């Protein structure tokens, strides 16, 4: 799973190391990062497989502690971050800790946002009414990088493409790439049916 800033993901936390991580986060600032593992991680999953350099820092916006010590929670993305170094295991902690550089988006004002918004309007005309209303409600109040990140989280399901868009720090390029994604989605959807005449 790839988390994006401004987007929220539901998580079921059941592994002992991540349960410990969530407990510690809740006792502190409620923040932890969601990182990606490099190819071949399956062989070393119980250990410390290589981490990819780009990650997203999130804050626990909702949580529920279950009777067996597991958690259900919602993690909301706050900022991209780049891995600087991983700390050696210390103090008996089960989970991994890193030093990372926060990478907030700069302000963005360019024609690409208007083009992307127009494409989203066209896309929503092809979606079921409830889905279109939810997408419009979520994206209408966002601008710049936040707008494109929430759209990416909603529309792009392929993991490598999601990670590539997380790695793209240039908001303009990110919008251009997402515009291609939206165009691809629209080619797979039939235009909405209209009743009567259209002026």
Mean pLDDT value across the chain: 88
**Contact status, residue 118 vs residue 186, Cβ threshold 8 Å:** no
In a domain, 194, yes or no: no
CATH, residue 122: 1.20.58
Confidence band of 196 (pLDDT split at 50, 70, 90): very low
Q: How many other β-carbons are positioned within 10 Å of the β-carbon of residue 36?
A: 21
Looking at the predicted structure, is the pLDDT value of residue 197 above 50? no
Specify the range with the lowest mean pLDDT, choosing from 15-29, 70-84, 119-133: 119-133
Provide the domain limits for residue 67: 8-103
Helix (H, G, I), strand (E, B) or coil at 6: coil
- Does residue 199 register a pLDDT over 90? no
Give the pTM.
0.85
d(CA 155, CA 128): 14
Question: What confidence tens digit (pLDDT) does each residue in 120-147 have?
Answer: 999 888 888 888 898 888 888 899 999 9
Domain boundary among 103, 122, 152: 103
pLDDT value for 83: 96
Confidence of residue 46 (pLDDT cuts 50, 70, 90): low
For the segment 77-86, the average pLDDT, to the nearest whole number, is: 96
Cβ contact 171:105 at 8 Å: yes
Burial (CB count within 10 angstroms: exposed 0-12, middle 13-18, buried 19+), residue 90: exposed
Residue 148 sits in the same domain as residue 98: no
Residue bearing the bigger pLDDT, 95 or 73 = 73
Of 68, 103, 138, which one is at a domain's C-terminal end?
103
Mean pLDDT across the stretch 71-94? 89
Total count of domains within the chain: 2
Are 89 and 118 part of one and the same domain? no
């Amino acid at each position: 799973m790839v988390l994006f800033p401004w987007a929220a993901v539901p998580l079921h936390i059941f592994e002992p190391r991540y349960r410990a991580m969530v407990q510690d986060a809740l006792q502190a600032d409620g923040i932890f990062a969601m990182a990606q593992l490099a190819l071949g991680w399956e062989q070393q999953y119980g250990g410390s497989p290589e981490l990819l350099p780009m990650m997203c820092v999130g804050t626990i916006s909702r949580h529920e502690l279950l009777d067996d010590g597991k958690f259900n929670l919602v993690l909301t993305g706050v900022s991209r971050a780049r891995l600087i170094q991983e700390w050696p295991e210390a103090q008996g902690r089960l989970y991994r800790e890193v030093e990372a550089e926060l990478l907030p988006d700069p302000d963005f004002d360019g024609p690409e946002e208007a083009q992307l918004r127009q494409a989203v309007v066209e896309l929503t005309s092809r979606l079921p009414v409830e889905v279109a209303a939810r997408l419009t409600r979520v994206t209408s109040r966002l601008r710049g990088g936040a707008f494109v990140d929430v759209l990416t989280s909603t529309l792009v399901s392929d993991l490598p493409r999601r990670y590539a868009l997380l790695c793209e720090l240039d908001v303009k390029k990110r919008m251009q790439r997402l515009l291609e994604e939206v165009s691809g989605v629209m080619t797979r959807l039939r235009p909405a049916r209209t009743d009567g005449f259209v002026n």
